[in-house]
Structure 1
Amino acid sequence: MDAQPQPDAPIILHSLGSHEQWRAWLHQIQSCAVAYNIWDNINPDHPVPFLEEPKTPAFTTQGDTAWKEDRDREYHSILCNRLMLQYDEYAKQQRSKEHLFDLICSTVEMSLQTAYFDPEMTFIEWIPRLKDALWVDDHSEKKQARERYHEALEPMQSPQHWNAWLAEYNEAASLAKLYGVPEVLQIHALMKDFASAVANVAPTWAATFLETGRFEPLMSRKEMARRFREHMKVQCHLDSGKSRAGASSTADDGAASRGNKRNASSATDNAPPAKKNKRRNAPPNSSRQASSNKRQRGHKPANAGERCPACGERHGIKGCYYIHKELAPRWWKPKKSTQSLIELRSKNDTSFQTLLREEGKSVST
């Protein structure tokens, strides 16, 4: 039995009814016009005239005497071929204009068409009229795009929602680039801002990228986001594996502990009566318990599993040599990448600045 053909997915078009929809609608019209190769002809800033319908050249009126020579026949053939090529280009452009006309009429609300679509005007003149009617201000649109971009650069506090954070950042950065926001057009400033925003959840990646990655000649925002995405996929996979292993070991330890208790209880019940009484009446060995407790406390490291919010190492911020340099021994040497990352965060990360103030350290400005 032959498989039924699947219907094509419906094309979602952006309609135009208010100034909030102007940018998406204009981008849609521009994309179609570029595909039809007529965007230069309808660009509101500097339009190029459309092709005019080619006219048939005037031939001689001397009748058959004009075609007696081969030179005249060759010249006529060249004119006809050129006329056919010109008319093909003209007809193709006319079809593109018709398609774009249908697209504009199908996406603009009827109230706007009734008020601003003059039949005596060309549809090319409709676009600037729509822009003026909707009170579209390029300066305010650029300002909103810049504000959204800076909101998307808020430091990531938890790695759980890194994918949603990165998607919002990419969308905000693309919109800011479309409006020509300077912070996005300067690639080195953009990469510094991005590394500072992700330093809380990926300090090693941010430090390495600032030291080496951002100086690569072919580095771009798309490549930077791709590398960060791959890093977070691996990191989250490793973290989930550690959590499962920890839960499994905890369950095994609990089962072993319960088994030891059951074995000890059964051994006590099976012991002779004299030994049972001796165990019950024997005083607790306080010195042995104290030494056992000391050994247990000694085996458990301080701040187990906790990472320093400044350098990312396994210690608290109270003992971080990068923050409290007066505690550092003589042999200790700071890493340049970690030091530069801490300096960058102290200038741009507000939460990190608050943490430094709590530790009694000055904030770089």
Structure 2
Amino acid sequence: MSNTENIEKDPNLGLRTSDYYFDLPQELIAQDPMEKRDECRLLTVNKNTGKIKHQIFSEIIDYLKPGDCLVLNNTRVIPARLLGEKEDTKAAVEILLLKRREADVWETLVKPGKKLRPGARASFGGGILKAEILDVVEDGNRLVKFYYDGIWEEVLDRLGEMPLPPYITHKLQDKNMYQTVYAKYDGSAAAPTAGLHFTNDLLRRIEDKGVDLAYVTLHVGLGTFRPVKVDNVLEHHMHTEWYQVTDEAAEKINRAKKNGHRVICVGTTSCRTIESAAGEDGTIEASSGDTSIFIYPGYKFKLMDCLITNFHLPESTLVMLVSALAGRDNVLNAYKEAIKEKYRFFSFGDACFFTDDEI
């Protein structure tokens, strides 16, 4: 049965975007990362009953059992925000890298759009990096060709800034604080933020407990932060992101399921990766490609049993995904409790664990 059929037969699942609204005080939006990653707060929620427990993130290990498989997204955020000037007028411009199309051609977001039409040229770092607008594509994005001497990654690391979400207004003092400790493959315009809470020591202790760590890759696009602009959830069009599941990751996930253990995703990006690659029989094979999977109530999970995630924006596709796992009422009640207890929200905020454990 498809999502659409499920929702049409049970309208209480949440068909309207407004069903996912909650009022969030501005002061609860975290502006800076925690100094010690695993000392943030953890709201543990039984996904079936909605029962809640207040904890510290490092206590997540107490819920992980030998044989479980923890799935983590090892994408690495690139310093994708370039600030420069238009070559002819010297007016300030901004280019945000979204997706590499070929060697030195990127799909980007630009500001101001009216001044950066095809043929326009921009300069960054006093001419170290130059750019030419080639074309306007979907959603007003620009194809941009870059010119430079040397190695692209070194130029970008020197000139680029981390593309923090628009709700973060503080300047990031250390670029590494917007990377997971296991970040490996360059390509994201945003961090898989649920993973920011893990330390190398915590991951080592989790492995020592007999939990398998399966690393997958999904390069997070800025579509993650785009609001849902339609009232009917079914009419929303998801952005496309590139993912990869290796043979090793597939083997670990399949072993956990075969032996009756749980697959626990770290973040919505890990969830979307394995659910995109999963077969209808509940197994997963090594694969890569583009996914625009949209998970909302009515979706039947093929692989994921539990989810570690941050607190998400009202009316966002991410709140809808979590509601597909734990039920809209349980999720919104948990968020209501988090707001009451002044948890920190969004990318640098606290964490939530939706589990089937007794609480």
TM-score, normalised on structure 2? 0.21
Q: Relative CO higher for 1 or 2, CA cutoff 8 Å, sep ≥ 6?
A: 2
Q: Which has the larger radius of gyration?
A: 1
TM-score, normalised on structure 1? 0.21
Structure ranking higher in helix proportion: 1
Structure ranking higher in strand proportion: 2
